[in-house]
Structure 1
């Protein structure tokens, strides 16, 4: 499998996107469960089926381009494949010296945003991204090698990873999270997402409250014709110090909704956003206290 990914990484992005679009539609056609979930999530967001339909091919393109993004040599920058919209917001946030938490939903090419940040600011403000270690050994090797780029560090989804992110923010660095990812049981809270209760991580709000970090949202727009990507940075809602885990999570969900509705054709509507959270199986002792707490809350 690693050899296959290595071979795919050498193909032109245009070909990868074409293959990915076909794979996306095949997945949709061959999986009734995926089709039902996809349609239900689009409808839950108040969108017409036609507005979500482009996301079928987009999901396949996301998978296909991963090999190119992960296995591209660290010495090969994104260069002309990427342009910025709102980079000045990151400059302004970093100038405050309190660290920057940057959030992106499962939308567009979210892998490219971390690499883009690392290339532009990594020399002075490295970015740390939260990730869940892959279960398969070959996949762990690929992920570890691909995400270990200059200016880009990874934090595992456990107590040590949370402490690593807190340290990074307190040192004025950048941390990246996908807040629409369903966290393990005990590490989130139930709040509405597009009008339906969804188990939502409380980590993002806690990090801001503990460190005073600035907060922004970002997404990597995938341009048609494999012309590259646009990293679009936008302001995020302020999270008051007195916010409860529930109110902070609700603010973040609303910010993700607003971002997704700007380009619904690039959101992963097939993601099981409304599923029940899994049990803690990431090597973290279950935190004490009410649901919504998270490991490292007192660090």
Structure 2
């Protein structure tokens, strides 16, 4: 995909509200880190009260995935999750606009040797991640230490898409954001020995998915991880990030590569991925993106798990 370019059309008055919103966000991003986290928690509390539909989705996901918790515990977790999502707004601003030297001070990266070894061996890498609320800043912190590319979905608003790509691709001169449908580009990068950030944990429908359990619930799970690894001759390195308590920054971990992957079948691979996802989500459930309808697509004949209201 070509590098992002500014368009004169972005100066049209219809974009003025977005320019003003991002201008305000840029100004707020200059505040101290600890204060930005507090503002994020406040924003999350407001959204929790106002965004009824999203609140219902989060609550339903927690009910499905953590039936062992009582209602009060799940409600506490839901509120913490909205606080985490609010902080993610300011973490996005930090990752897009902070000077790189200032940004690097926030992150501790473990396991970078696995990525460097693959690079030395000219081996493509799939950085298998998950949609945690910290994904934007986690990818930025890693991108400041090692060149990575990322798969993403083009935003419907072209100005937002341009800002997003500029923010994500600035951490390395050769970093690229690849549209998630552009499989050929992804395979080409992997065969060139590049590292590709990829998260296989969302519901993309039936077309390229298999149903395997996640937290005991049958979930439509994409098979792309296996196919990219096989066709791109790439290693799969699990990648996790977490927001540390008390404003101490972030811990990023590049784990050792999945052994014997792809395995004997795509079904077995999807199950293995979901078991890994469940493990890492349980470690920090409040930081996961529960606002996504992960169980939207159901097996034939199964009722919807979400209310339509």
Q: TM-score range by the shorter chain?
A: 0.7 to 0.9
Q: Which residue of 1 aligns with 2:184?
A: 163
Q: Which residue of 2 aligns with 1:152?
A: 175
Q: Which residue of 1 aligns with 2:33?
A: 13
Q: Which residue of 2 aligns with 1:100?
A: 125
TM-score, normalising length from structure 1?
Answer: 0.81
Contact (CA 8 Å) 1:101, 1:208: kept in 2 or not? yes
Task: Give the alignment of 1:76-95 within 5 angstroms.
Answer: 76=101, 78-95=103-120
Between the two proteins, the alignment pairs up a number of residues equal to: 270
Q: Which residue of 2 aligns with 1:23?
A: 43
Contact (CA 8 Å) 1:239, 1:251: kept in 2 or not? no
**Structure 1 residue 174: deviation in Å?**
0.3
Contact (CA 8 Å) 1:97, 1:172: kept in 2 or not? yes
Instruction: Tell me how far apart the structure 1 counterparts of residues 186 and 102 of structure 2 sit (CA, whole Å).
Output: 25
Can you list the C-alpha shifts for 1:156-195, whole angstroms capped at 9, x where unaligned? 122xx22121111111110111111222552322222211
Backbone CA RMSD of aligned residues: 2.3
Q: Which residue of 2 aligns with 1:249?
A: 270
Matched, 1:60 2:81: no
Instruction: Tell me how far apart the structure 2 counterparts of residues 236 and 257 of structure 1 sit (CA, whole Å).
Output: 18
Among 191, 197, 204, the residue aligned to 2:218? 197
Contact (CA 8 Å) 1:114, 1:152: kept in 2 or not? no
Matched, 1:258 2:279: yes
Structure 1, unaligned stretches of length 5 or more? 278-299
Moved more, 127-136 or 23-32: 23-32
Matched, 1:72 2:98: yes
User: Structure 1 stretches (4+) deviating beyond 6 angstroms?
Assistant: none
**Structure 1 residue 202: deviation in Å?**
1.5
**Structure 1 residue 78: deviation in Å?**
2.5
Contact (CA 8 Å) 1:221, 1:230: kept in 2 or not? yes
Shift in alpha-carbon separation, 1:138–1:8, aligned structure 2, 3 A: farther
Task: Give the alignment of 1:120-269 within 5 angstroms.
Answer: 120-122=145-147, 127-149=148-170, 150=172, 151-158=174-181, 161-235=182-256, 237-238=258-259, 240-241=261-262, 243-269=264-290
Instruction: Tell me how far apart the structure 2 counterparts of residues 100 and 146 of structure 1 sit (CA, whole Å).
Output: 22
Bigger radius of gyration among the two: 2
**Structure 1 residue 133: deviation in Å?**
0.8
Contact (CA 8 Å) 1:237, 1:251: kept in 2 or not? no
Can you list the C-alpha shifts for 1:100-136, whole angstroms capped at 9, x where unaligned? 11111122511123223322222xxxx1100101111
**Structure 1 residue 249: deviation in Å?**
1.7
Can you list the C-alpha shifts for 1:262-288, whole angstroms capped at 9, x where unaligned? 1222112222211239xxxxxxxxxxx
**Structure 1 residue 239: deviation in Å?**
5.0
Contact (CA 8 Å) 2:149, 2:177: kept in 1 or not? yes
